[in-house]
Amino acid sequence: MTEEAVTAHSLTPVLRVLRSCLHLMVAALLALAAVRALAEHAPDAPAVLATAVALFAVYATGPRLPRLRTSTGAAALWLAAVALLWTVLLALTQDGVWLAFPLFFVQLHLLPLRGSLPAVAATTAVAVAGFGWHTHTLSVGTVLGPALGAAVAVAVVLGYEALYRESEQRRRLIEELTAARSELAAAEHAAGVLAERERLAREIHDTLAQGLSSIQLLLRAAERALPQRPGTALGHVRQARTAAVGNLAEARRFVRALSPPDLEAGSLPAALERLCATTARTSSLAVHCQVSGVPTALPTGHEVALLRIAQSALANTVRHAGAGRAELTLSYMDTEVALDVVDDGAGFVPAEVPAPGSAAAHGTGFGLAAMRARARALQGTLVVESAPGEGTAVAVTLPCPATAPAPAPPTPAPAPDAAPETAS
Count CB atoms within 10 A of the CB of residue 153.
24
Do the Cβ atoms of 25 and 40 come closer than 8 Å?
no
The per-residue pLDDT for 25 is: 86
Q: 353 with 315: CB under 8 angstroms?
A: no
Cα gap 341→311, rounded to integer Å: 10
CA dihedral 308, 314, 320, 325 (to 10 degrees): 170
DSSP secondary-structure letter at 206?
I
Query: Mean pLDDT across the stretch 234-246?
Result: 83
Angstrom CA distances, 386 to 321, 362, 392, 394, 395, stand at 11, 22, 4, 9, 11
Prediction pTM value: 0.43
> How far is the C-alpha of 411 from the C-alpha of 199, rounded, in Å?
32
Percentage of the residues of the chain whose pLDDT score is greater than 90 = 12
pLDDT greater than 60 at residue 237: yes
Length of the chain: 424
Q: What is the pLDDT of residues 353-391, one digit of tens each?
A: 776 655 444 555 677 888 888 899 889 999 999 989 889
CA 277 – CA 397 distance, rounded (Å): 23
Phi-psi region of 290 (alpha: psi -120 to 50; beta: other; left: phi over 0): beta
Among 380, 285, 289, 366, smallest CA distance to 336 is for 380
Lowest mean pLDDT among 27-36, 66-75, 98-107: 66-75
Query: How many Cβ atoms sit within 10 Å of the Cβ of residue 93?
Result: 23
Whether residue 422 is predicted with pLDDT greater than 80 in this model: the reply is no
Higher pLDDT, 105 or 8: 105
Band the pLDDT of 255: cuts 50, 70, 90: low
CA distance 198 to 373: 9
Provide DSSP, 39-83: HTT-TTHHHHHHHHHHHHHHHHHGGG-GGGGT-HHHHHHHHHHHH
Question: In Å, what is the CA distance from 24 to each residue of 27, 44, 79, 115, 359?
Answer: 5, 25, 18, 25, 83
| 347/199: higher pLDDT | 347
Torsion of CA 168, 173, 174, 179, to 10 degrees: 130
> What is the pLDDT of the chain when averaged over all its residues?
80
Beta-ladder partners of 141: none
Helix (H) or strand (E) segment spanning residue 325: strand 325-332
Q: What is the mean pLDDT of residues 393-414?
A: 63
pLDDT of residue 261: 62
b/e 305-341 (16+ beta carbons within 10 angstroms → b):
bbbbbbbbbbbbbbbbbebeebbbbbebeeeebbbbb
Four-residue CA torsion sign, 196, 198, 200, 206:
negative
Lowest mean pLDDT among 63-72, 183-192, 336-345: 63-72
Indicate whether 252 pLDDT > 90.
no
Q: How far apart (Å, rounded) are the C-alpha atoms in residues 312 and 318?
A: 10
